[in-house]
Amino acid sequence: MVHNRSKRPRHPDTQAPVTEGMPEPTYADGARRAAPLAIAGVFDGLTFGVLATSAGFGGLPTLVMSATTNAGSAQFAAASLLGAGSGVLAAVSTALLLNTRSLLMGISVSPALRGGRLRRFATAQLVTDESWALGQVEPGRWDRRLVVGAGLAMYASWVGGTALGLAGAGLIDDPRRFGLDAAFFAVFLAVLALQLRTPAARLAALGGAAVALALVPFTPTGVPILAASCVALAGARRRV
């Protein structure tokens, strides 16, 4: 059994004088933070269910994908590419490229997780764009219970929404007609707004958008977003 190697205490209480005297966050706090996003997530899942079905993905694979991959943008990309006849390799590589950011998120959340390697690996499966953004207690520091609570709420809404979408796939012919795709970027914009407290973060946001849009015409899907993440890395290196 591999234990936490460091002798220093890692517990949020002892690590952050900022939260001293404040009640420690619970799983429910994480779920509560995620509640508005979870409601939007039902619609995102519903949209995915409808779109994947219309792309010829089949009901069971669509539901299993939401339950196992649990990553909206990657799933949309994979289903639409396969539907457009791009082939398995293109669909898989694009989806994984979009999810490369999970690796970076895993690195940043890692100090907040507990237990042996297997438990850390399992807990990290709940780290998504949303639970990662919501589980931050201050820039650069995460709380395990907030991440897990938010992650579970998002997971339930995403899988449940997908099931609803499959059930009603015949009812909504074109989810774009109802602006459901806009729900997606509205959520990301709202989370982004919370991140812009420092000049460095605002610069990173501007740089990220500029780099991503500049690369859109020239690179495969997924590359622009990955390159934008590198802007953050470069920016941080300059600052330290």
Partner 1 sequence: MSDPWLVVLAVGAGTALLRGAAPAALAGRRLGGRAMGAAELLPAALLSALVATQVFSTRSALVLDERALGLAAAAIALLLRAPLLVVIAAAALTTAVARALA
Tokens 């859109």, located at residue: 216
If binding is defined by CB under 8 A, does position 16 make contact with partner 1? no
Q: Which is nearer to partner 1, 1 or 23 (CB)?
A: 1
Residue list 108-147, contact with partner 1 (CB under 8 A): 108-111, 113, 117-118, 120-125, 127, 129, 132-133, 136, 139-140
Q: Which is nearer to partner 1, 22 or 118 (CB)?
A: 118
Least Cβ distance, residue 170 to partner 1 (angstroms): 19
Least Cβ distance, residue 25 to partner 1 (angstroms): 18
If binding is defined by CB under 8 A, does position 192 make contact with partner 1? yes
Least Cβ distance, residue 201 to partner 1 (angstroms): 4
Least Cβ distance, residue 239 to partner 1 (angstroms): 6
Least Cβ distance, residue 18 to partner 1 (angstroms): 15
Residue list 195-224, contact with partner 1 (CB under 8 A): 195-196, 200-202, 204-209, 211-213, 216-221, 224
Least Cβ distance, residue 200 to partner 1 (angstroms): 6
Residue list 81-100, contact with partner 1 (CB under 8 A): 82, 88, 91-92, 95-96, 99-100
Q: How far apart are CA 235 and CA 203, in angstroms?
A: 9
3-state SS, the chain, equals CCCCCCCCCCCHHHHCHHHCCCCCCCHHHHHHHHHHHHHHHHHHHHHHHHHHHHCCCCHHHHHHHHHHCCCHHHHHHHHHHHHCCCCHHHHHHHHHHHCHHHHHHHHHHHHHCCCCHHHHHHHHCCCCHHHHHHCEEECCEECHHHHHHHHHHHHHHHHHHHHHHHHCCCCCCCHHHHCHHHHHHHHHHHHHHHHCCCHHHHHHHHHHHHHHHHHCCCCCCCHHHHHHHHHHHHHHHHHC
Q: For partner 1, which stretch binds (CB under 8 A), given 22-30, 153-161, 165-173, 179-187?
A: 179-187
If binding is defined by CB under 8 A, does position 162 make contact with partner 1? no
